[in-house]
Structure 1
Amino acid sequence: MEGIAQFKVAGVSSPCETWYKVIGDLKSEAVPLIIVHGGPGACHEYLLPLADLAPSMPLVFYDQIGNGRSTHLPDKAGDEEFWTPELFIDEFRNLMRHLELTGRPINVYGHSWGGMFIAQWAARPGAANLHRLVIASSLASMDVWRIGITALRKKLPLDVQEVLDRAEETLEFETPEYEAAVEVFYKRHLSLARPWPAKEVQAALEWFAKDSTTYGTMYGPSELYVSGSLRNWTSIPELSGIKATTLLINGAEDEAKDVAMQPFFDNIDKVKWVTLDNAAHFAHIDQREKYMQHLRTFLLS
């Protein structure tokens, strides 16, 4: 089932639309899993392998506003006061109300950027119905993220590092040389699946290219340069508020290195952490069978 949730947003004249897709029966006894994509702006398609879980539980996929099949707002490009984590937390709450899921147990999976703002939502009183939380390949703050990214960057070939450094000095990011250098990093730390890019990786990259409003405004020109509104973001002061049992999952070659995930482990009371070998940021693609096994075991326990 596909549908639209109307979402009223301050500063936008008419209601926005959040597109969603439900696999399974939300009226069943099984606890549904809401799947929150990353980016910002990668859209739900790259997480569709999680449909492997559908025999065990109802699933809800959705595209966040500004992206995918939801309302696009290109006129808000560069508006850092508009594109905030609070906007996406509000959208998530609105979708839960629309689907009549606020008064019953739910499980939530947040990947990368999705894990960032969902961790903030999960730490607040309004998340009392959260049964299980999965934070996948995400980061607890931009400061710890930068530590990890910097360490990975120093392991790149010197000529690649030089191209990245030069682009940041000149702020010229839209060159073939920069794109090629970024791809070297992505092949090591975004996904290890070959041939490159896997269709799910391609889907995410294509959405960034089609409409870079949210990613460009909130993050930056690539994963290697954080210049957007999230540059000083942190969830660490809030994390002790997460009461739901939580699974952390990342890949051994993930751009979300352990240092970026560690504050989740240190500050969430009931937490388990799994790191998959031979997997990067799209660990659900690189080690699909093992990944789904871990999710299924955790969510059904």
Structure 2
Amino acid sequence: MAITDSKTPITDGFAPFHVTNAGKPCQTWYKIVGSLDSSPFPPLVCLHGGPGGDHRPMVEPFMPLWDKLGIPLIFYDQLGAGNSTHLAEKNGDTAFWSLELFLDELRNLISHLGLEKRQDGFSLFGQSWGGMLACSYAATRPRGLTKVINSSGPASMPLYMEGVRELIKGLPLDVQKAIGGCERAGDTTSDKFQAAEMVWIKKHLYRTEGEFPEAIKDMLEDVKKDPTVYMTMCGPSEFQMTGSMKDMVLWQDAHQIEVPVLVLNGRYDEVTDRCLEPWFKEIPNVKWIQLDNSSHLGMYEEQERFVEILANFLTT
């Protein structure tokens, strides 16, 4: 572990992670912003989206939680992403890239950092796929967990796809035809498809004017370089769920979650209300807040409001 900033304590390191059938040693990279030893609130472990994305898009929006409140932030890159071990040789191996793999990785990281032994415990934040992972982990009733925030993490992928198909009907007719035609042709790289996808992005993923923030652009470029996890678990695009996640339904165990849960999404989110509603119905202690001017990336689209909501939930 190395301290890299004298004003804001920032440490990073690797947690060794034994994975059966990986074929090589694996490790999970993590970064801790703040001090775990002297904080008024439990640390917040941040689970990124994708699957196959990385931690970078969450750093800048979340810094006020440390700067203003002193909540320690723990970011990490999941296996196959970012600074953690990549396994491109496992591309297409749906048995290997599973929900349980990432739950095991999360457990391993928490144990490595000793979070489950803390008197004040720890909280989880999950964005999109990370929200699915966070709620699934919470349903196992782990020691030390105090609160969970699920930001746009579907309870059911079939319900997610139902919502996507409904949202596509609201796009301009030429965009609908382009998406449908390119999907049938197996074409997700042409200019025609990319243009149609950008219309979707600007309506249901990131509605803010201008380009993606640099952290998101850098993350997406790296996913293109190694699409192993995303392609195996999801598929070629947001509109085609062909991977191991396509039939994933997680809400059946939600009644076992014992800690308070905050569910978030945007009014224009590609993760529609219908695929979040099972969380709200099944989790015993749950609150649902919708961001009126956001789609999928409320942490950027309504950054101040987003951080305010998280701060209120984590400190009360």
Normalised TM-score (structure 2): 0.92
After superposition, give the CA deviation of every residue in 1:109-158 in whole Å (9 maximum; x if it has no partner). Answer: 01100111221111013x13211100001100112101211111111111
Separation in 1, partners of 2:137, 2:296:
22
Larger relative contact order (C-alpha < 8 A, sep ≥ 6)?
A: 1
List per-residue Cα deviations over 1:153-178 (Å, max 9, x = no partner). Answer: 11111111111111221222222211
Alpha carbons 2:206, 2:296 under 8 Å: kept: yes
Distance 1:66 1:179 in 2: 25
What is the deviation of 1:229?
0.5
Letter paired with 2:179: L
1:108 aligns to 2:121 (yes or no): no
- Per the alignment, residue 254 of structure 2 pairs with 239
- Post-superposition offset of 1:267: 0.4
Separation in 2 of the partners of 1:28 and 1:242?
A: 28
> Is 1:58–2:58 an aligned residue pair?
no
TM-aligned CA deviation for residue 77 of structure 1: 0.4
**What is the deviation of 1:283?**
0.4
CA RMSD of aligned residues (A): 1.1
Q: Does residue 118 of structure 2 align to residue 118 of structure 1?
A: no
Q: For residues 124-135 of structure 1, what are the structure 2 equivalents within 5 Å?
A: 124-125=140-141, 127-135=142-150
Match of 2:243 among 228, 243, 247: 228
Q: Distance in 2 between matches of 1:202 and 1:153?
A: 24
**Which of these residues, 202, 206, 210, is aligned with residue 191 of structure 1?**
206
Distance 2:274 2:20 in 1: 36
TM-score normalized by structure 1? 0.97
Q: Deviations over 1:192-250 (max 9, x none)?
A: 12212232432332232121100000001111110110010010111111111010111
Tell me which amino acid in the other structure corresponds to 2:157.
M
Counterparts of residues 260-299 of structure 1 (less than 5 Å): 260-299=275-314
Cα shift at 1:8: 0.7
Q: Is the 8 A contact 1:41 1:207 kept in 2?
A: no
SS at match of 1:133: strand
| Residue of structure 2 in register with 1:202 after alignment | 217
Partner of 2:105: 91
Alignment partner of 2:149: what SS?
Answer: strand
Counterpart of 2:22 in structure 1: which amino acid? V
**In 1: Cα distance, 2:216 partner to 2:31 partner:** 20
CA distances 1:238-290 after superposition (whole Å, capped 9, x unpaired): 11111110101111111111111111100001111111111110100000000
Question: Counterparts of 1:201 and 1:99 in 2: how far apart (Å)?
Answer: 27
- Of the candidates 18, 32, 44, which is equivalent to residue 28 of structure 2? 18
Aligned-pair identity in percent equals 39
For residues 38 and 99 of structure 1, the distance between their equivalents in structure 2, rounded to whole angstroms, comes to: 22
Aligned residue in 1 for 2:55:
44
CA contact (8 A) 2:265 2:296 kept: yes
1:78 pairs with one of 51, 69, 92:
92
Secondary structure in structure 2 of the residue aligned to 1:155:
coil
- Whichever residue aligns with residue 244 of structure 1, its letter is V
Which segments of structure 1 move beyond 4 Å, counting only runs of 4 or more?
none
Query: Distance between the aligned counterparts of 2:189 and 2:235, measured in 1?
Result: 12
Give the match's secondary structure for 1:43.
coil
Alignment equivalent of 1:67, drawn from 81, 91, 107: 81
Deviation at 1:298, TM superposition (A): 0.3
Q: Is the 8 A contact 1:182 1:224 kept in 2?
A: no
2:167 to 136, 152, 156: 152
Instruction: For residue 230 of structure 2, give the secondary structure of its aligned residue in structure 1.
Output: helix
